[in-house]
Structure 1
Amino acid sequence: MSLVIYAFAALAEIAGCFAFWAWLRLDKPVWWLAPGLVALSAFAWLLTLVPSEAAGRTYAAYGGIYILASILWLWIVEQRVPDRWDVSGAFVCLLGAGIILLGPRG
């Protein structure tokens, strides 16, 4: 279930940040900020739903999922094909996130 929450959180965070990017860098109208703020609020709320005893561990594991989602956003939304460095970097980060998320705790 955590992976599903992380995936939705990543989508919300990227969409929210992209709204600001579009306003500031792509000359989109200021009203783009309204859905961006809603998306960023949803992102923060979603991370609170991850079952974990420590916020820092939750955020650290989320980092790998966020990076993968960012590479997918690059490919699907921005229509730029990820290169081998994008893909290999995302794989390394996902591996790290998996260790943090699934590692045995004492």
Structure 2
Amino acid sequence: MIKSILYFLLACIFEVGGGYLVWIWLKNDRPLWIGILGMVMLAVYGVVATLQTSTFGRVFAGYGGIFIVFSIVWAMVFDKFKPDRFDIVGAVLILLGVFIMLYGRNFIK
């Protein structure tokens, strides 16, 4: 389970980070190399995600929930985004659902 969580976090860094670099390249008129770096990071994300041992559907559905929460954290750090109580409650519920979906079978037989 720890290895799986680390793969999810690594995938988040490459996916959200890569998407962010492409975003600022196009939206904030940054140099082309920033966009290219973002695209490379997005490609690496696709490879990192395959390191998970569960099925494609379960991994990508679970990753979708983790992506939501990681995106909020990323925006807080890099864009000074201030989540409100609805963002926080929603993120907690999403993580709970992801945990149940991905790891619940390990605890309840």
Contact 1:74 1:82 in 2 (8 A): no
- What is the aligned partner in structure 1 of residue 28 from structure 2? 26
1:35-50 aligned within 5 A? 35-50=37-52
1:1-106 aligned within 5 A? 1-52=3-54, 54-104=55-105
Aligned length: 105
User: Which is helix-richer, 1 or 2?
Assistant: 2
Unaligned runs of 5+ in 1: none
- Rounded Cα–Cα distance in structure 2 between residues aligned with 1:26 and 1:85: 29
Unaligned runs of 5+ in 2: none
How far is 1:95 from its partner?
Answer: 1.1
- Rounded Cα–Cα distance in structure 1 between residues aligned with 2:85 and 2:62: 23
How far is 1:98 from its partner?
Answer: 0.8
56-65 or 23-32: which moved more? 23-32
Q: SS at the partner of 2:22?
A: helix
The alignment's C-alpha RMSD in Å is 1.5
Contact 2:26 2:35 in 1 (8 A): no
Kindly, what percent of the aligned residue pairs are identical? 37
TM-score computed with the length of structure 1 as normaliser: 0.90
Q: Which amino acid letter does the alignment assign opposite residue 43 of structure 2?
A: S
User: What CA deviation, in whole Å up to 9, does each residue of 1:66-100 have, x standing for no partner?
Assistant: 11111110111111221112111111111111111
TM-score computed with the length of structure 2 as normaliser: 0.88
